Structure 1
Amino acid sequence: MKHLVWVTAILLLARAASAQEKLPVILPYNHMNIRELYLDSSNHHTAFKPILHVDTSAMYTQEDPVKRSLLYRKLFQEHLLEFRNKEYNVFIDFLPDFQIGKSREGNRTTWLNTRGAIIQANIGTKFYFESSFYENQGKFPYYLDQYIRKNDIVPGQGAIKDYSEGKAFDYNYANALLSYTPNKYLNVTAGYGQNFIGDGYRSLILSDIQFSYPYLRLTGNLGNVQYTAMWAQFMDKHSKDFAAAYSDLGYYKKWGVFHFLDWNVNKRLTLGLFDAVIWPDADSSGRKRGFDWSYMNPIIFLRSAEFSEGSSDNALVGANFKYKLLPKTTIYGQLVLDEFKIKEVFGGKGWWANKQSWQLGFRSFDLFKVKNLDLQGEYNAVRPYTYSYKSTLINYEHYNQSLAHPLGANFQEVLGIATYRYKRWYGRGEIMYAKYGDDPDTKTNFGHDISKPYTTHPNEYGNWIGQGIKTNLLYAQGTVAYVLNPKYNLRVEASLAARRLKNDITGSKTDLIFNFGLRSSFRQFYYDF
């Protein structure tokens, strides 16, 4: 019913429009097609996602020389419902994700039953609207099952309810986006979903691995500079005691403000500067603070403003870069400073509050001159206690998941991803290896779990990446898919994943996971942790 109301409103607004020419379609880039931005000879702003673009090729359904039945066109060529007009475009699709699989650990039969729907619409070239909703039931491999039960959330998707006598989970999630671009200099976006800052597979600044959250984003473009200011509200799902006592108020909320300045120095080099401040909606006694209007200042680097307020809000700063080394090869990287004292950093003693993270990677397209054969390699490292704070009320986390990397902190990671497309065939291979220091129990804090307060660090000095229970994680996955309908990415897909976790407490745990299904989605879920 909610979606029907939106569609009706869009159609009524469209009839009031005065455009005389047939207009193109506004669509968001996704991980399947963003490669075109890196291959373009000009230097685009690619770091802050989602990115909207005008797609003239999608204005009208291409004429098929062979007359097809309605069922054939809807399954393989068109959106389920299409309303194309000289003033507006509206697309409505059903998004299934039906999977069946097998996990060797515990000899588990896994499955997923997702029914989703999405509405996409634009009025002229200034308004774009998107809304989607997904109802899910699923049974997951053992390591994901344990993660879900511990954190009370399916990674990136939603809170859980027991299903099938506690053997599976019931959950749902939704996303929405409304974008207005009055001119080439400004875009205003309000949404309920995820954002991503960076050019890599992972982001150490702001990632899209977590559950949806409400946000308001202003983006300005002037010459070769793009500036973005975003305000968002997050939830602290750890505050269960508070939620039980004040059920009408729900979980504790926290707020975040993000600024990102992206400068295309030339056609090869792009430099970005970033800052963020997280502050609580209320303190531990329940005293309301709400949105802090002093953070409405859209100017980058608010540390001085945050300090002038006399607060101990959680502030981070960072940098992002990319450089087109070759016409089809781009290198990129990130640096995040959570705490930074030059004396301690260069003292070399491993002070606990030396909280930094860094990334270095590359993207290479049409490898060995094979069209659509792409390769990506990446290294990530995060020092202990980075992203953590005195309380989960103010740490760099939303709905029990990090706003940055799924491994939290106190780790090093190297990964490689290869993809290949041929007509409607798609193949993807990934291998990831990580070393991190885990905690022997729930009370000890060696800096891996960012939900633990950093005040519980056992040592003032001598803190290094990998301290604690040394853990090795190896994850590899291969996927083959045949795209039935590119309009809404309907595909038949098969995948095989291998995961091995080894440390001195649990020993070596190995799992082999096979999945087969009919899928339709553009969002990427991260289970490689």
Structure 2
Amino acid sequence: MKHFLWIIGTLLLFSNANAQEKVPVIVPYNYLDIRELYIDSLNHHTSLRPILHIDTSAMYTATPTVKRSWVHRKLFDEHLLEFRNEDFNVFIDFLPDFQVGKTKDGSRTTWVNTRGASIQANIGTKFYFESYFYENQAKFPTYLDQYIRKQDIVPGQGAIKDYSNGKAFDYNNASALLSYTPIKYLTIDMGYGQNFIGDGYRSLILSDIQFSYPYLKLTGHLGKVQYTSMWAQFMDKHSKNFAAAYDDLGYYKKWGVFHFLDWNVSKKISIGFFDAVIWPDADSSGRKRGFDWSYMNPIIFLRSAEFSEGSSDNALMGLNAKFKLFPKTTIYGQFVLDEFKLNEVLKGKGWWANKQAWQLGVKAYDLFKVNKLDVLAEYNAVRPYTYSYKSTLINYEHYNQSLAHPLGANFQEIVGIATYRLKRWYGRGELMYSKYGDDPDANTNYGHDISKPYTTHVNEYGNYIGQGLKTDLIYAQGTIAYIFNPKYNLRLETSLAYRKLSNDQVKTNDVIFSIGLRSSFRKFYYDF
């Protein structure tokens, strides 16, 4: 926090709010405006996020025809604090998220009380910095409350403390990004947050559903090729906590290296090649391994090829692709190979270690020629035991959540999303149906829970998607919002959600209504 305040103080000390605005503003694309990259006539690299861009519209502020009060400008048009200079820009915002809701029978009142703050700054076009912090208390719907108590986390937002005599939760979370572009061919990112690889709503390769983690990312740009190498540290919250005995060493850590080569083959086609390796910071006996410097090798698939020869580390490979069918319609998809043997695949007997996942989707913009009416339809399927490993010390997971899909493995899913914007009004509708195979008890492993070791698989052969306790999940949500200030997405929002889960052991039927004053561009995945 001291360093954070020092940065703010230094920037403000040397700022001149009345200076001529000459420096372009660098900002990240958010989920509201990334659509522009898909409908552009050029084929942009859209599958690796976050994406920074230069907002030339903010370089010079036109003189308004009607003078507005400070309160009006800050509420509707500007950041809370803006410092624009010939050399840099600084934006500071307060980010509230206040919600209250009711379940279908009115017996449970839900609420969220979040106070957040953000700072965004850029120096010229080479340096960008952002930091976010949120302090939260909340009481969630029953299904989320049960999940949080079981996993000891709020999805995507970190560990919990009891609040209000155990009836609610207290938690906080933060993120930060430092991006430097020394030359136009290279971008260096140091961050504490999430990353996303894909063109759809879900990602089966690397998603942003989980809690923040530290990472270093190098991205090279050369012609039609974008190549990324990323190193990250994750936390195994399932492991024993040594904090009490070993001076706050905390939970076991694990490391990951990721490579992604995205090639714009033409103006319509992009193909991305991906690999990842996860290795433990220490083994189950506590023997330290630390960062493996051999993984600094930036060549994609080089290390992955070695794992087929019997390495103990966890390797995963994937393919991401998109095709612009029409100027405003894009087809996309993913394929993941976690582990397989070709001869076992060809036998078609459902060997347990044939672990694959695939995705196919389409997104269309300005549907029926209605401006800013956008739709997405997506299918996802993950075979049993995918993303799991012998131990949580090395599986594809961070902070008790998958690094890919929130449903883990052993499922099929269809999701449809429609959004519409009219001036400052925003509407969103989602319908999701999933069919998955759950475990009938804690000691059985049919491949849905990726935190269970795959060595406990039930059957050697005959494994298929949906095996185990057959479960149907329906999730639907409608949201309407009026956006007061698009700079930090301050909005008055009301939402109605419906969730139905049924199998031979459990049947739940939830309807949740909520209304609130919200801000920021954070995405929460509660549709599981």
**TM-score, with structure 1 as normaliser:** 0.97
Amino acid at match of 1:200: G
Deviations 1:81-108 (A, max 9, x none): 0000111000000000000001237821
Instruction: Find the aligned partners of 2:269 and 2:81 in 1 and give their Cα distance.
Output: 42
- Between the aligned partners of 1:247 and 1:389, the Cα distance in structure 2 is 29
The answer to whether residue 508 in structure 2 is matched with residue 509 in structure 1 is yes
Alignment of 1:223-302 (within 5 A): 223-302=223-302
Contact 1:60 1:84 in 2 (8 A): no
- 1 CA distance for matches of 2:413 and 2:220? 34
Q: Note the C-alpha offset of 1:413.
A: 0.0
Corresponding residue of 2:398: 398
Q: Which residue in the other structure is 1:5 paired with?
A: 6
- Residue 440 to residue 224, structure 1, CA distance change in 2 (3 Å): same
Would the aligned equivalents of 2:241 and 2:252 in 1 still touch at CA under 8 Å? no
Alignment pair present for 1:365 and 2:365: yes
Residue 458 of structure 1 and its aligned partner are, at CA, apart by: 1.3
Map 1:55-454 to 2 at 5 A. Answer: 55-104=55-104, 107-304=107-304, 306-307=306-307, 311-454=311-454
CA distance in 1, matches of 2:241, 2:485: 47
Counterpart in the other structure of 1:520:
519
Whether the aligned pair in 2 keeps the contact of 1:105 and 1:142 (CA below 8 Å) is no
Change (3 A) 1:311 1:244: farther
Give structure 2 stretches of 5+ with no counterpart: none
Asked if structure 2 preserves the Cα contact closer than 8 Å seen for 1:373 and 1:420, the reply is yes
CA distance in 2 between partners of 1:340 and 1:461 (Å): 13
Aligned letter for 1:8?
G
Aligned to 1:472: 472
**Contact residue 26 and residue 53 of structure 2 kept, 8 A:** yes
Deviations 1:257-286 (A, max 9, x none): 000000000000000000000000000111
Answer whether contact 1:387 1:396 (CA < 8 A) is retained. Answer: yes
State the shift of 1:427 in Å: 0.2
Give the conservation status (yes or no) of the 8 Å contact 2:21–2:60. no
Q: Is the 8 A contact 1:61 1:78 kept in 2?
A: no
Q: What does the per-residue CA deviation read over 1:129-161, in whole Å, with 9 as the maximum and x for residues that have no partner?
A: 000100000000000000000000000001000
Task: Give the C-alpha shift of residue 7 in structure 1.
Answer: 1.8
Q: Deviations over 1:135-194 (max 9, x none)?
A: 000000000000000000000001000000000000000000000011210000000000
TM-score with structure 2 setting the length: 0.97
Give me the whole-angstrom Cα distance separating, in 2, the residues matched to 1:373 and 1:282. Answer: 50
Structure 1 residues 361, 215: CA separation in 2 closer, same or farther (over 3 Å shift)? same
Aligned mates of 2:452, 2:152 — CA distance in 1: 17
SS in 2 for 1:37: helix
Q: Secondary structure at the match of 1:240?
A: coil
The residue type equivalent to 1:483 in the other structure is I
Aligned length: 525
Q: Write the letter of the residue equivalent to 2:281.
A: D
CA offsets 1:418-448 (integer angstroms, 9 cap, x no match): 0000000000000000000000111100000
Q: Which runs of 5+ in 1 are unaligned?
A: none
Does the 8 Å CA contact 1:26/1:53 hold for their aligned counterparts? yes
CA shift for structure 1 position 311: 3.6
Q: CA deviation at 1:301?
A: 0.7
- C-alpha distance in 1 between matches for 2:231 and 2:50: 15
Once residues 247 and 303 of structure 2 are traced to their aligned partners in structure 1, the CA distance between those partners, rounded to angstroms, is: 34
CA RMSD of superposed structures (Å): 1.7
Asked if the contact 1:490/1:520 (under 8 Å) is kept, the reply is: yes
Q: CA deviation at 1:233?
A: 0.2
Compared CA separation, residues 388 and 245, structure 1 to 2 (3 A): farther
Shift of 1:77: 1.0
Superposed displacement of residue 302, structure 1: 3.4
Q: Give the Cα–Cα distance (whole angstroms) in 2 for the partners of residues 170 and 427 of structure 1.
A: 30
Q: Deviations over 1:439-471 (max 9, x none)?
A: 011110000000000000011000000000000
Q: How far apart are the structure 2 equivalents of 1:104 and 1:259?
A: 46
- Sequence identity percentage: 78
Counterpart of 1:338 in 2: which secondary structure? strand
Tell me the SS of whatever aligns to 2:149.
Answer: helix
Q: Secondary structure at the match of 1:295?
A: helix
